[in-house]
Amino acid sequence: MARAQNSRIFVFWFTLGLTAFVWLLRGIGLVTFLPGFILGFLLIASLALLIINGLIETR
């Protein structure tokens, strides 16, 4: 059970880090060719994982 929890937390932090990294690079202007919906998708995925992890932890 602890391994499943660690993998969920890893996936959440990886997604959040990737989102921040893409946002930073896009803000600097290095990846301006990337459409905005990809950044939006990453933000929604991070929020969804946060909610799902929170619901699983409160059980």
Quick one: which of 42, 8, 44 has its CA closest to 25?
42
Q: What is the pTM of this model?
A: 0.80
**Distinct helix (H) and strand (E) counts, the chain:** 2, 0
For residue 35, what are the CA distances in angstroms to 21, 39, 43, 52? Answer: 15, 8, 14, 26
> What pLDDT, on a 0 to 100 scale, did the predictor assign at position 24?
94
CA distances from 9 to 14, 15, 16, 25, 28 (A): 8, 10, 11, 24, 28
The per-residue pLDDT for 32 is: 87
Render each residue's pLDDT in the chain as its tens digit; 59 residues. Answer: 567 678 888 999 999 999 999 999 999 999 888 888 999 999 999 999 999 998 988 87
Per-residue confidence (pLDDT) for residue 44, from 0 to 100: 95
